Structure 1
Amino acid sequence: MTGQNTLTGQDPPGGLPSPGGQGASGGQGASAEERRQALLRRLAALPPARREALRRTMTAAPAAPGLPLSSGQERLWFLNRFDPADSSNHILWCLRLRGPIDPGGLAAAFTAVAGRHEVLRARYRMDGDRPVQVVPPPEPVVLELPVVPEDTAGGAGPDAAVLALFDRPFDLERDPPMRVALIELGERHALLCIVLHHIAADGWSLNVLMRELGECYAAHREGRRPELEELPARYADFVTWERGQAERAGPARLAFWTERLAGVPVLDLPADHPRPPRWTGRGGRVELRVPDAETTRFEQAARQQRSTLFMALLAAFQATLGAVAGQDDFCVGVPVVGRSRTEFEPLIGYFSNTIALRADLSGDPSFRELLGRVRPATLRALQHAEEPFDRILGALRLPRDLSRPPLCQAMFNLTHNLPKDDLLRTAMGDLGVEVHPPPETGRTRAEISVDLYRGPEGLGGSLEYGSDLLSAGTARRVAAAFTGLVTRAGADPDLRLSELSGLSGLKGE
């Protein structure tokens, strides 16, 4: 082993002689103490830079082993590598804080939460021909403090700072997938902004994050330990479970999807602008509202067909898209929470999956008849919802088309059943808290999507659209057609779809 570092098994950097090598003061007959003193003299004679390099080599911890990614994470990792500047898969949450704000306490609270959830500090790298996630030891979370000019503090200035934080790319190989900032708006008034990469979180995770953040901040302010239950699992346990589920399910679960989706055409929306050769994720947003009385009537029509509000709204969205595109066959993607085991519920991570629901609008059915198709199709799909969306895409062998999202160009989501008590909290320790509506980010994950919630005032939400394809005017008309269809179908579900759409002169401003 002469000539090798006995601690690392590597050649000493810079050609430093081994302490056991030949030399006047370090020969084979020298005592151990003499050899140690000779080594110290040689180290002292090295330039400082080489001495520091040697120290790092001898004391560096071995690289942490890489953990596999979930199927959803693998797709998000690929999309990030394909276009690192695309912020479509960033999650933004903003809160207004009022009171004696403690920036150090906020940073400590985020640090404590990241210490509990490995996925918030994971890094992603290639290991051979596959991506892995490497979890470093807990480290302090940096609370950024952007400066907003005083003359814009109450107007566009904060939104500009929020968008800059949101749009900044994540380097998933070197940086954690979460960043936070505190934007001062005045005395005892600030905006707390949280940006997460989707690879580390989903909608459910935000409620978990806010619950733990609130408790950790209150504990810091009160000088006590946070009262949080020990987590029953790690995100890595979900990855292992997901892979095991795929093996146990065998080919039958995947075969359900490939048979159901075989030959499905793309949703070909009439575009206001030439389709770019590559999907960019640029988008806009239109607000959606349906008053409570009309929503209640629509719910009653759904119950008559033993359908849920989700099923009925999905049917209304399918009917609207069919009228817009002139198609009776296409897919709508629907996110599912993916937390079928109770031990996954208190975890932060990317658990959600997408199921592709194929529309069948053939024969110009009445809305009541359409519900009779949507209900059983949805129930069957939910029975197979644990099949990873990316495995389905791979099995379908769809033609490669970079100009549009694969399989599901449209997405639909009803979020009122997600836990949100902590997400909508009004206090955090000694601070007053209120949700700050985030500015429009100009990003979307689909060519057209609807995201709704059921509240006491009725239905609320938004329609997002790909601005490379559709103008704002067209998007407003589609949104109006959708809400109008909900209203008319609730009043008379026996009307045929051709009588419900209310679409005319769709394109143009």
Structure 2
Amino acid sequence: MNAPDRRAALLGRLAELPMERRVALLRSRRGGTAGREWPLSFGQERLWFLNRLDPADTTYHTPWCVRLRGPVDAEGLAAAFTRVAERHHVLRARFRLAGDRPVQVVAEAGPVAVESAEVTGDPAPAVVEFVNRPFDLEFGPPLRVALLRLADDHFLLCIVLHHLVVDGWSLDVLMRELAECYTAYREGGEPSLEELPMQYMEVAAEDRRRAEQNSEQNRDTSHLDHWTRTLTGVPALDLPTDRPRLARWTGEGAQEGFLVPDEVITRLEEVARRQRCTLFMALLAAYQATLGIASGQRDLCVGVPVAGRNRAEIEPLIGYFATTLVFRADLSGAPTFRELMKRTRLAVFKGLQHAEAPFEQVLGALRLPRDLSRPPLFQAMFNLHNTPKGDLLRTTMADLAVEVYPVPAAGRTKAEISVDAWRGPEGLGGVLDYSSDLFSAATARRLARAFTGVVERVGADPDLRLSDLNHLI
């Protein structure tokens, strides 16, 4: 039997083994992850450092809440979460110092506790309290769960994870596997889940090794070189504030909602198509224009979160893969909005080509002056969410009816000003998050109205110059 035939026969025998046996063999081959010290990914390292600076800061808590209607099996929910945490080792990670470097150590698998409480009236205060409870990342898990009973057969399931171990994509994975494990528990069977090809810690370790090798051998620096060329010398965004800037950034924030009607956003979509731009590019250009008008600057940066999952084998994993791309706006020369879209389109294309450079490496390479009074590099963010699909918007789980519960504002913000938007049948909905240390609610409302006003005006006439929009502020 030749080598390919032997390999095929071995794979066939492995496929016939029960799932538990295959997983055990895989863990045996890798030596397991529990108890070992694993390096943090570049993204994790920055969040860990921020947590060490202020352990009480809850800015990077990631919540997801759903209403459950029906005969909720609390024991079954706990068993389902336990099963998911057994599969995804990062949900059992503890973060600590080993010498002079942070590491993550996976705790042995054990039951995931589901807290329970009775809530009468508006559940929002209880949810905010639960979301804003700090994690002890050194000695406790980065995941907690609560089941709030609102009435007979009406519950609120609250999930909170630290951003160190999860991103938006991961929430969909979590809800899919939670539903599968809960349903299997209720039916007395085994969940139908594919074996994971690897664990998040293994991905983080491999990325670290690759980055260190590239650095030592001075190769494949094109991604980092692009960002240092593009971002060197960019000024801080200096919006007029209502209050003096504090000596240290606190992350205290609030938000204002907005809605752009469907007919207005449809016009902008058509303008974008004619310029071979996406809606995201057009909205980013409109946001840059708004910031330029408000600040009087012609040179500024906007941070944009991206999924960071560029390989098929990491798609089924829970972990922190997301990164941030920073786009430098060029508002010089009194451009028309049509011209600004072209500039934004080019910047986005080039940025996506070099998205593999971790944001943390970009920060380090730029050697920015230390300024604790504001977030580093960019002070504004923009995010256009794809309409959530699949398991985040699932409507059933076993015999339960499921409905998303929008998490109340927790009073935190990652940037001085940030727009989160989503395209729906009613138009473009969104929220403007802002630093309450710097801006009043009235100023935030004015900025939100200015953004929606820019979107409306340039959708109707993309040849307007930015100077024609100054009156919107």
Aligned equivalents of 2:263, 2:390: Cα separation in 1: 25
Residue of structure 2 in register with 1:260 after alignment? 230
Residue of structure 2 in register with 1:436 after alignment? 405
Aligned equivalents of 1:364, 1:116: Cα separation in 2: 55
Contact 1:485 1:502 in 2 (8 A): no
Q: TM-score, normalised by structure 1?
A: 0.84
Correspondences of 1:39-78 after superposition (within 5 Å): 64-78=35-49
Residue of structure 2 in register with 1:316 after alignment? 286
Residue of structure 1 in register with 2:121 after alignment? 154
Contact 1:183 1:190 in 2 (8 A): yes
1:91 is displaced (CA, Å) by 0.7
Residue of structure 1 in register with 2:4 after alignment? none
Alignment partner of 2:372 out of 369, 379, 402: 402
Q: Which amino acid aligns with 1:460?
A: G
Alignment partner of 1:389 out of 353, 359, 365: 359
The one-character-per-residue Cα deviations of 1:265-314 (angstroms, maximum 9, x if unpaired) are 00011110111111111101111211111111100101111111111100
Structure label with greater radius of gyration:
1
**What is the DSSP-based 3-state SS (H/G/I as helix, E as strand, rest coil) of the residue aligned with 2:118?**
coil
The one-character-per-residue Cα deviations of 1:446-499 (angstroms, maximum 9, x if unpaired) are 000011111111111111000000001100110011011111111000001121
Contact 1:201 1:350 in 2 (8 A): yes
Q: Which amino acid aligns with 1:322?
A: G
Q: Report the identity percentage.
A: 63
1:233 is displaced (CA, Å) by 1.9
The one-character-per-residue Cα deviations of 1:342-398 (angstroms, maximum 9, x if unpaired) are 011111100001111001001121100101111111100111011011111111111
Aligned equivalents of 1:363, 1:412: Cα separation in 2: 24
1:501 is displaced (CA, Å) by 4.5
Residue of structure 1 in register with 2:339 after alignment? 369
Aligned equivalents of 1:134, 1:125: Cα separation in 2: 8
Residue of structure 1 in register with 2:25 after alignment? none
Alignment partner of 1:498 out of 464, 467, 470: 467
Residue of structure 1 in register with 2:66 after alignment? 95
Correspondences of 1:324-343 after superposition (within 5 Å): 324-343=294-313
Q: Which amino acid aligns with 2:312?
A: T
**What is the DSSP-based 3-state SS (H/G/I as helix, E as strand, rest coil) of the residue aligned with 2:38?**
coil
Aligned equivalents of 1:194, 1:219: Cα separation in 2: 20
Does 2:424 align with 1:449?
no
Aligned equivalents of 1:502, 1:454: Cα separation in 2: 27
1:439 is displaced (CA, Å) by 1.1
**What is the DSSP-based 3-state SS (H/G/I as helix, E as strand, rest coil) of the residue aligned with 1:124?**
strand
Contact 1:324 1:503 in 2 (8 A): no
Does 2:393 align with 1:424?
yes
Residue of structure 2 in register with 1:415 after alignment? 385
1:252 is displaced (CA, Å) by 2.5
Residue of structure 2 in register with 1:228 after alignment? 193
Q: Which amino acid aligns with 2:159?
A: I
Aligned equivalents of 1:202, 1:113: Cα separation in 2: 16
**What is the DSSP-based 3-state SS (H/G/I as helix, E as strand, rest coil) of the residue aligned with 2:39?**
coil
Alignment partner of 1:251 out of 199, 218, 221: 221
Alignment partner of 1:80 out of 51, 59, 66: 51
Aligned equivalents of 2:181, 2:470: Cα separation in 1: 50
Q: Which amino acid aligns with 2:61?
A: H
Contact 2:236 2:300 in 1 (8 A): yes
**What is the DSSP-based 3-state SS (H/G/I as helix, E as strand, rest coil) of the residue aligned with 2:393?**
coil
Q: Which amino acid aligns with 1:471?
A: S
1:82 is displaced (CA, Å) by 0.3
Aligned equivalents of 1:501, 1:313: Cα separation in 2: 18
Residue of structure 1 in register with 2:255 after alignment? 285
Q: Which amino acid aligns with 1:330?
A: L
Residue of structure 2 in register with 1:296 after alignment? 266
Q: Which amino acid aligns with 2:276?
A: R
Aligned equivalents of 1:340, 1:245: Cα separation in 2: 15
**What is the DSSP-based 3-state SS (H/G/I as helix, E as strand, rest coil) of the residue aligned with 1:101?**
coil
**What is the DSSP-based 3-state SS (H/G/I as helix, E as strand, rest coil) of the residue aligned with 1:146?**
strand
Q: Going by fraction, where is strand more abundant, 1 or 2?
A: 2
Alignment partner of 1:458 out of 427, 446, 464: 427
Does 2:166 align with 1:201?
yes
Contact 1:485 1:501 in 2 (8 A): no
Aligned equivalents of 2:275, 2:447: Cα separation in 1: 26
Does 2:442 align with 1:473?
yes
Aligned equivalents of 2:207, 2:463: Cα separation in 1: 43
Stretches of structure 1 lacking an aligned partner (at least 5 in a row) = 1-62, 505-509
Residue of structure 1 in register with 2:157 after alignment? 192
Q: Structure 1 residues 105 and 298, CA, compared in 2 at 3 Å: closer, same or farther?
A: same
Contact 2:38 2:103 in 1 (8 A): yes
Aligned equivalents of 2:290, 2:266: Cα separation in 1: 20
Contact 2:92 2:107 in 1 (8 A): yes
Contact 2:47 2:164 in 1 (8 A): yes
Contact 2:118 2:149 in 1 (8 A): yes
1:242 is displaced (CA, Å) by 2.2
1:420 is displaced (CA, Å) by 2.8
> Aligned-residue CA RMSD in angstroms?
1.4
Q: Which amino acid aligns with 2:44?
A: Q
1:236 is displaced (CA, Å) by 1.8
1:245 is displaced (CA, Å) by 4.6
Q: Which amino acid aligns with 1:427?
A: T
Contact 2:293 2:469 in 1 (8 A): no
Contact 2:223 2:355 in 1 (8 A): no
Aligned equivalents of 2:206, 2:436: Cα separation in 1: 39
**What is the DSSP-based 3-state SS (H/G/I as helix, E as strand, rest coil) of the residue aligned with 1:296?**
helix
Aligned equivalents of 1:297, 1:110: Cα separation in 2: 45
Aligned equivalents of 1:380, 1:401: Cα separation in 2: 28
1:323 is displaced (CA, Å) by 0.8
Aligned equivalents of 1:411, 1:119: Cα separation in 2: 27
Aligned equivalents of 2:367, 2:73: Cα separation in 1: 53
Q: Which amino acid aligns with 1:203?
A: G
Aligned equivalents of 1:420, 1:124: Cα separation in 2: 32
Stretches of structure 2 lacking an aligned partner (at least 5 in a row) = 1-33
Residue of structure 2 in register with 1:138 after alignment? 109
Contact 2:91 2:141 in 1 (8 A): yes
Residue of structure 2 in register with 1:351 after alignment? 321
1:244 is displaced (CA, Å) by 4.5
Q: Which amino acid aligns with 2:70?
A: G
Q: Which amino acid aligns with 1:224?
A: G
Residue of structure 1 in register with 2:3 after alignment? none
Ranked by relative contact order (alpha carbons within 8 Å, sequence separation 6 or more), the top structure is 2
Which of 315-324 and 286-295 deviates more?
A: 286-295
Residue of structure 2 in register with 1:170 after alignment? 135
